[in-house]
Amino acid sequence: MAIEYLLVTYPDQREVLANGERVGSTNHTLLLPSDEYIITLEGEGYQPPSQDVVLTGTSEGKPMVIAFVPATKAAAIGAKVAAVKPKPAASRRKAKNV
Amino acid sequence: MFRRLVWIAVLFVLAGCAATRFENYPLAAGQTNVERRTVDVSHPERPLILVAVSGGGSRAAALGWVVLRELRNFRYATNGQGRSLLDDIGVISSVSGGSVIAAHFALYGSEGLDQFAPDFLEPDNMRTLELDSVDPLNWVKLAIRGSSRIDTVEAMFDQQLFKQKTFSELNQPGKPVLILNATDMASGEVFAFTPGRFNDICSDLDQEPISVGVAASSAVPIVLSPVALRNYSATDCRDATAPAWIANKLEGRFAPYVNLEEFKLARYANDLRHGKNSYRAIDYLYLLDGGLADNLAIHGLIETISSPYAAQAIVDRSSATQGSGTILEAINRGRVKKLAVIVINARPDPANTISQTDTRPGVLGMIKSVTSVPIDSTTASVSSQMEVLLAQLKAAGGGGSGDPQFQGLHIYGIQIDFDQLRAGDPKQRELRDKAKAIPTLWTISKDHREVLEEVGTILLHQHPCFQRLLIDMNVEADFDLDPNFAKTGCRQATD
C-alpha cells in the first residue's frame, strides 16, 4: 500500500468524497492510499456525477488531477458540442469514391 | 510456576464439556453503534500522538505504563494553558498484555496511572487465577453456565481494574480512540472492539464489558479458551445498509490489484454482514490473542492513519466544516502538523540454547518455534509497513504541486524496543538482558518492574525522534537534549 497524491479541481471550494467518505477539499492536493475510488463532491450541481479513478503511480510533484465543472457550464459545453454535427457516414463514403 | 499452570489446566479440562456462552448482545432494531469519541485538532501547534502497545503479559502492561507515565512528565504551554504530552494521545491500539494498560488509560486517564501499579502490577495475579482454578464454585459455573476458562481472566480484570464497566464509558467525547485487537480464530483476521466492527456483526458495543475486550485481546491459545461472540447481522440487522466503501471495493475492477489489503478488509466486513457474494458464512466468532495476527497492534494504527474509512473521531472546532472526520482528512486539511507514532514493543528474547546444542531439538522445542517464529515474522512485516507509511508521510511534508495543505507535516516515528539499549554500554547491556528475560505472565515481580521503569525511561529519552519532538515544541526536559543527534536521527522533509 502506497500513499498517493490526488488533486480535484472545481471553481469553488467543495468537500471531496472518496467512496462516500470525506477526504479533504477541492483545489488542494490530497493524500490517499493507492486504490480505486469513486470520487464525488459534497452537494449537487456539478458534473460529472462521479469519477472512477485508479489512484496509483503518482508523486508529490505529479499528482493525479481530475476536474469537475458546474452543471450549468457542463450543459453549455454539451450544447456547443451538439451544434457541431459530424458528417453522415454515407456522404463520407461518397466523398471517398470521387 | 509449572504447578500453577497444572492447576489452571485442571480447570481447563473441566471447562471442555460445557456449552458455549456468547458474550455479546444484539443491537436493537434501527440502532447502530455511533462513534462518540472526539480528538480535537483545533490547535495544529499541538502534536497528535498515536500509541501502540504490544503483547507480553504484565511485562507489556508495565512497559506501556512506564512510557505513558513518562509522557505525563513533559509539559508545555499552549493557548494560555499548561498541557502534557499525555494529553495529546488521540489513539491507542493494543494487543494482549498491552491492552490491559491501554484500556485502563482510556478509561481512567492521566490520574488513573497512579493507581495502575497497586491495582494490577503489584498483586500476584497468577495466584488469583490459580485460586479460581481450584475453587469448586468455579467448577459449578463451568458446568452449568457454560462459562469457560477465559471467564476467570475476565473476572480478574473486572475485580482489579474495570469494575464491570462497559465500552459505553470509553466511547465518550474527549476520550482517546481505543483499539483493542483480538484475532478471529477462523480467518486469522484482526478483530478490533470498535463501533464500526460491532456494526458489522450487529452487536451493541455499549453493553459490552471492557473486561471481555481485554480478555479477547489476551486469550493465549490452548492455555485459555477463545472469547465467543455471536454474529447477529443475519438475524437482527437484515435490512441494515452497509457503508458504501465496502460495495465499491468489492465491485471495483481494479481494487483487488491496486490495494489487495484494503480489498480483503472490505471482504471481511462484507462476510461479517452476510453481504452479497460473501466468501465465508460467519455466524459465530471465536477470538484469540491479538498477537497472533499482529503482536505490535500496528494494524489498527496504520488503518487509523491512512484509511479514508477509519474511525471518524477527529474534530476541528475552529473549522466551518461540521462533524468529525478521519486523521487522513485532518492531515489533508493541514490541521495536523506534528504526528508522533509511539510503538511500545515488549517482545522478550530470552537466551535460546538451541544454537549451542549439538542435539536436535525435540517436540517441545519445535512447538515453541512454530508458535513464536511466525508471530515474530508477521510482526516484523507489519512493522515495516508502518515504517514505509511514516516515511511516505514524512516525504509528503516537503510539499509539492497543487497547493497541498499537508505541507510542513512533521512525522516522529518512535519505536521503543529492548534491542535499542546500547550493547556497548555495560549498564544498558545488563538492563537489556534482564528485560528480555522477564517471563510472559500476569504477575511481575518488584525487581522486574524496576528494570522496566529504568528501561522504558531510557529508551524514550534516547530516541532521536522523541528528542526532536521536544525540541520542535520547546518542551523542557529533565535530561540533556542533543539537537544534532535529534536532527540527524529524525530528519524532516522541511529541514
Contact B401 A63 (CB under 8 A): yes
Residue A5 with chain B: CB contacts under 8 Å: 396, 400, 402, 404
Nearest to B88 by CA among B305, B342, B457: B342
The pLDDT of residue B224 is 84
Q: How far apart are the first and last CA of chain A?
A: 59
**What's the distance, CA B153 to chain centroid?**
18
Find residues 260-279 of chain B whose CB sits inside 8 Å of chain A.
Answer: 261-262
Output the CA–CA distances (angstroms, integers) from residue B95 to B103, B219, B347, B352, in the order listed.
10, 10, 12, 25
- SS3 of B230-255: the string is ECCHHHHCCCCCCCHHHHHHHHCCCH
Residues of B in contact with A2 (CB under 8 A): 392
Nearest-angstrom CA–CA distance, B103 and B86: 15
Q: Report CA-CA distances (Å) from A59 to A53, A74, B91, B387, B400.
A: 16, 30, 28, 18, 8
**Would you state the cell numbers that stand for residue B264, as one nine-digit string?**
480483503
**How high is the mean pLDDT of chain B?**
89
Residues of chain A below pLDDT 50: 91-98
Which percentage of chain A shows pLDDT scores above 90? Answer: 67
Whether residues B404 and A60 touch (CB distance < 8 A) is answered with: yes
CB contact under 8 A, B308 and A31: no
Q: Distances in Å between the alpha carbon of B86 and those of B162, B184, B412?
A: 21, 31, 15
**Cβ neighbours around A66 below 10 Å, total:** 16
Output the DSSP codes for B3-42: HHHHHHHHHHHHHTTSPPPP---BPPTT--------EE-S
pTM of the model: 0.89
Helix (H) / strand (E) element for B215: namely helix B210-217
Mean pLDDT, chain A, as a whole number? 84
List, for chain B, all residue ranges whose pLDDT scores fall below the cut of 70.
Answer: 1-18, 131-148, 319-322, 350-353, 364-377
Residue B359 has a pLDDT of 76
Contacts of A7 (CB under 8 A, 6+ apart): A27, A28, A29, A30, A63, A64, A65, A66, B401, B402
Residues in A touching B405 (Cβ below 8 Å):
24-25, 28
Q: Exposed, middle or buried, A88 (CB in 10 Å: 0-12/13-18/19+)?
A: exposed
